[in-house]
Structure 1
Amino acid sequence: MRLHVGCAMWTLRSWQGRFLAHPLPSHERLRHYAGWCDAVEGNTTFYATPTRDTVASWAQQTDPDFRFVVKLPKVVTHERRLTDVDEALHGFLDAIEPLGPRAHALWIQLPGSFTPSDVPTLARFLRRLPTTHRYAVEVRHPAFFTDQRATHLLEGVLSDANAEWIPFDTTAFFRTPPTSDAERDAWTKKPRMPLRTHALTDRPIVRYLGRDATEQTVEGWQHWIDVVAAWLREGRSPTVFVHTPDNADAPALARQFHDEVRARVPGLAPLPEPIPVEPLTLF
């Protein structure tokens, strides 16, 4: 049994000297992050398709069972809304090819303006995708969560393509008003998504947003401990990404989440051991 956990990125300034050695060349940071977590969100590919050489360096720094959930470029999902995207999509697929099995799922994040009436466009897009990859879709229009017909429509299209529905759980974050600059910034930017805990495939993916306060983050993920433990007992292999507004402690929190699930499911494989980090010094 495997539960993969990770963060929204593999390097952050506040991690230097804590989770990642400092100083550390940029081409070594992913390798050090992979000692803490065995999955990562590929958010940077949303803004620009990387070169094959860059992607090859990501593969070289990680084991074959490390999981990248790689976001499709915004030109495909947001600007052209899944139509007339062959050139951009083929360029993206070619660029990520060096990841090999590490490309756990290609992440199709759709804008809040993508409504249930647009689902036929998604269905056509999914049917044209190569079967060499797994796909996972994140939607942000409220009707997909509150309108049963819209929910069933999307679930049917995803099931036909053996694609997963990625929930972004922000319920714990929006439970109480923000108390820090990072939380106030996230308050204006993060979507207020209803809770969804239903998996469509054997490899569910969850994005969870907590608070800057660790105790609130841990309290907010307790229902996910139950859900993920149940998925594992059913033979599923989930991936969970832990976010907080400042992400300062995200790698440690991801490992804590894994520890809490492992306490429920003792047969769960352990995470890798982190690469030791020497404390920062003034001289």
Structure 2
Amino acid sequence: MSRPESDLPFFLGCPVWNCPHWAGQIYPPRTPRSDWLNWYTRTFNTVEGNSTFYALPTIETSKRWADEAANGFRFSFKFPRTVSHELALHKTDREAAAFFDCLRPLADADRLGPTFLQLGPSFGPDRFDVLERFLRRLPTEWSWALELRHADWFDESVHERRVDDLLRSMQIDKVLFDSRPLYQSPPDDHIEAVSQTRKPRTPIRQTVTGRSPMLRIVGRNRPAMADAFFDEWAPTVAQWIRDGLCPYVFTHAPDDTRAPELARRFAARMAIEMPELTFDIASPPMPPRQMSLLDE
């Protein structure tokens, strides 16, 4: 069942679409789980599909996702960890092919955004040749993005220039990861404390190597704490849009409950930066009783 396209002039979403605490934010209260994706795609126009990092869906499930998503919606799935971390891009033909089979129904339905390869912190420039061979074997009809975490990829010298040049030559986007909002102060709660032990602190870059710059930004469970960093990023994302690029922005929170509010705050900041464009994000309808109370 297709839905109208989003009016957002860029792609904005969360790391998941299936959080049970989003009733009233994304889904009307008491919405069955089977309808959560459909409702999510009425609100945001992309999702960072982290689930494929841990397990692949069946092809039938991928077809169902494609059918449930709104017109213009794009899934941006992560490569399985067997490919990126366990095998570290070595002898991955079977695992990669299985992943591509899952993506194909989404691509055929025009629901596939950039698929991103997140490499672990131990995968450094000494394995550049392995990375290049892997990237050159990717299907050229699809869009790809790469996230690097080893510190030597950010040397502002030979290694960084080399990988940036490779990505530009192949029109593969470089994932830009910003965890500064998460680490700006000690954690406020246990969930933030755990998140601060897990999220990397890679150097900040605004490097564009393809047509769809991808920003992943990690906020706090008090969403307003990310506002100063949104102030920094909004002019950059606006310039990407003005340059004819197609940015993807994903807002993370230690507690997924807060991710939609972070995304809405980012959209509101973009509306200030580009008042000539529309950055409205839909809200789910309220139950009849709540609506009648507002009318009283």
TM range (shorter): over 0.9
Q: Is the 8 A contact 1:17 1:280 kept in 2?
A: no
For normalisation by structure 1, the TM-score amounts to 0.93
In structure 2, C-alpha distance between the alignment counterparts of 1:117 and 1:160, rounded to whole Å: 20
2:19 corresponding residue in structure 1: 12
1:62 corresponding residue in structure 2: 69
Aligned residue runs from structure 1 range 36-75, under 5 A: 36-75=43-82
User: For residues 113 and 235 of structure 1, do their structure 2 counterparts lie closer, same or farther at Cα, with a shift above 3 Å needed?
Assistant: same
User: For residues 269 and 90 of structure 1, do their structure 2 counterparts lie closer, same or farther at Cα, with a shift above 3 Å needed?
Assistant: farther
Q: Is the 8 A contact 1:18 1:277 kept in 2?
A: no
User: For residues 19 and 278 of structure 1, do their structure 2 counterparts lie closer, same or farther at Cα, with a shift above 3 Å needed?
Assistant: farther
Q: Is the 8 A contact 1:30 1:61 kept in 2?
A: yes
1:254 corresponding residue in structure 2: 263
Report how many aligned residue pairs link the two structures: 281
1:174-231, Cα deviation, whole Å (9 max, x unpaired): 1211121111010111111111112112211100011112221112221111110111
Letter paired with 1:83: H
Q: Is the 8 A contact 1:6 1:40 kept in 2?
A: yes
User: For residues 257 and 197 of structure 1, do their structure 2 counterparts lie closer, same or farther at Cα, with a shift above 3 Å needed?
Assistant: same
1:93 corresponding residue in structure 2: 100
In structure 1, C-alpha distance between the alignment counterparts of 2:225 and 2:69, rounded to whole Å: 32
Identity of aligned residues (%): 33
Which residue, 79, 86, 95 being the options, matches 1:79? 86
In structure 2, C-alpha distance between the alignment counterparts of 1:44 and 1:58, rounded to whole Å: 13
Aligned residue runs from structure 1 range 91-240, under 5 A: 91-100=98-107, 101-240=110-249
Which residue, 252, 257, 262 being the options, matches 1:243? 252
In structure 2, C-alpha distance between the alignment counterparts of 1:210 and 1:273, rounded to whole Å: 22
Letter paired with 2:250: F
1:16-58, Cα deviation, whole Å (9 max, x unpaired): 3442223222221011111221110010011111101111111
For normalisation by structure 2, the TM-score amounts to 0.89
- Runs of 4+ residues deviating >6 angstroms: none
Gaps of 5+ in 1: none
User: For residues 129 and 276 of structure 1, do their structure 2 counterparts lie closer, same or farther at Cα, with a shift above 3 Å needed?
Assistant: same
Letter paired with 2:181: A
Gaps of 5+ in 2: 1-7, 291-296
Letter paired with 1:26: R
In structure 1, C-alpha distance between the alignment counterparts of 2:257 and 2:18, rounded to whole Å: 10
Q: Is the 8 A contact 1:138 1:166 kept in 2?
A: yes
Q: Is the 8 A contact 1:158 1:164 kept in 2?
A: yes
Give SS of 1:82's match. Answer: coil
Structure showing greater relative contact order (alpha-carbon pairs closer than 8 Å, 6 or more residues apart): 1
TM-fit CA distance, 1:83: 1.7
2:4 corresponding residue in structure 1: none
Q: Is the 8 A contact 2:25 2:284 kept in 1?
A: no
TM-fit CA distance, 1:272: 5.3
Letter paired with 2:64: S
Letter paired with 1:185: V
In structure 2, C-alpha distance between the alignment counterparts of 1:213 and 1:279, rounded to whole Å: 30
